[in-house]
Amino acid sequence: MPAKKKPKLDSKMLDQILEKMVETVEISKDEIFRIGEQSRQEFESLSQELKSLRVQVLSIIDEGDKLEIHAKYARKRLSDVSKHFKSYTEEEIRDAYEKAHNLQMELTVIRSKEKQLRDRRDEIERRLIGLTETIERADALVGQISVVLNYLDSDLRAFGDMVEDAKQKQDYGLKIIEAQEEERKRLSREIHDGPAQMLANVMMRSDLIDKIYRERGGDEAILEIKNLRSMVRNALYEVRRIIYDLRPMALDDLGLIPTLKKYLDTIEDYNKKAEIRFVHLGIEKRLSSKLEVALFRLIQESVQNACKHAEASEITVKLEIKPEQIIVVVKDNGKGFNIEEKKEKSFGLIGMRERIDILEGQLSIDSKLNAGTTIMMKIPLNA
């Protein structure tokens, strides 16, 4: 039998599991809290009862001691009457006996009551000790559960965000592979339809020049050579354009600022719908090759998003190079978007965040529907 596929754990499923766990733990916390509160109430009630019992025990002990003295005298009186019963009347003997008997019975009842009060007092003291331990344990458990709840609510939810982020990165990686294949196809078509076709025509026209020279003379051959030179020039222009799209050569030769100016002018001419303004502040100096390429791609992605998706008519690019960091602001007056809403295919923004993370920088996006978008990037120069 084929092995069953394990269900994929996505962020939504993880959030549902976490919510159930948090709910269960919160219920347990409430139950333990109620146990602690009930124990406190019982502790207070028993403490009051114990206080009353201690007073009663002292009182009954005092009463018993006094009665013990009276019973002792009554027994002595009965003993004397018994020894000399002939000297006492029958009524005196019966009175002495009844008095001693009654006092002894009262003493027995008081001692029994004293024992009951003592037993109850000892029982309450033991229960108070147990309740104290229960209250302390309940408080400790509530504290521990609070820590667990904080962990579940923050750290594990952050883990859920990490899972979602990892899933986005995986999708982004697949999108990169797909984009690379599409880019290869596009380049293949452009080279085939452009420079390759032109070079094929050059080969055909070069053969034709030899024939024209033999049949029509040198003047017409020279004219054909001029046309051939124009075709070669156009082919060279197409090759350079394709190379520029892959990586602007001016970036290596002239640096970031001149390349950006040229690129933004080209985009403005090509787009014809957006006015692009470039502002450079601070010092102008060459940066490391990798940093210049990264900054160029970040600005390129931001401007393309403003033109293609935001449909902006005004775009401002500000670049400020400070001694310790670089600040880039790309602002447009386009249709904007809800930054709280996660889009499934916002791979451009994901790619920008990836680049910013690699450069140890910060990326902030401020956008509202129909109110434009502002992207700010801060990149340390020691990145």
The CATH number that applies at residue 277 is 3.30.565.10
Under-70 pLDDT residues of the chain: 1-15, 18, 151-190, 192-196, 237-238, 240-249, 340-348, 383
The pair of three-digit structure tokens given for residue 312, joined into one six-digit string: 């902006």
pLDDT value of residue 76: 86
Question: Do the beta carbons of residue 359 and residue 378 sit within 8 Å?
Answer: no
**Residue 332: φ, ψ to 5°:** -135, 165
Residues 24 and 163 in one domain: yes
pTM: 0.45
Residue 161's alpha-carbon distances to 134, 165, 377, in angstroms, are 39, 6, 23
Residues 310 and 359 in one domain: yes
Residues 147 and 195 in one domain: no
Strand duo 314-321 + 275-282: pairing: parallel
Give the distance, in angstroms, between the CA of residue 232 and the centroid of all CA atoms in the same chain. 58
pLDDT value of residue 164: 60
Q: Find the domain containing 199 and state its range.
A: 177-242
d(CA 357, CA 380): 11
Residues 213 and 163 in one domain: no
pLDDT value of residue 278: 92
State pLDDT tens for residues 285-336.
888 888 888 888 889 888 888 888 888 889 999 999 888 899 999 999 988 8
Q: Reduced to 3 states, what is the DSSP secondary structure of residue 81?
A: helix
Residues 183 and 160 in one domain: no
Q: Look up tokens 């294949």; give the residue.
A: 181
Residues 141 and 203 in one domain: no
- Quick one: which of 86, 85, 84, 81 has its CA closest to 96? 81
Give the number of domains in the chain. Answer: 3
Cβ neighbours for 16, distance < 8 A, ≥ 6 positions apart: none
pLDDT value of residue 10: 56
In a domain, 128, yes or no: yes
Question: CB under 8 Å, gap of 24 or more: what pairs does 337-343 form?
Answer: 337/310, 337/367, 337/369, 337/373, 338/367, 338/368, 338/369, 339/365, 339/366, 339/367
Residues 144 and 70 in one domain: yes
d(CA 325, CA 321): 6
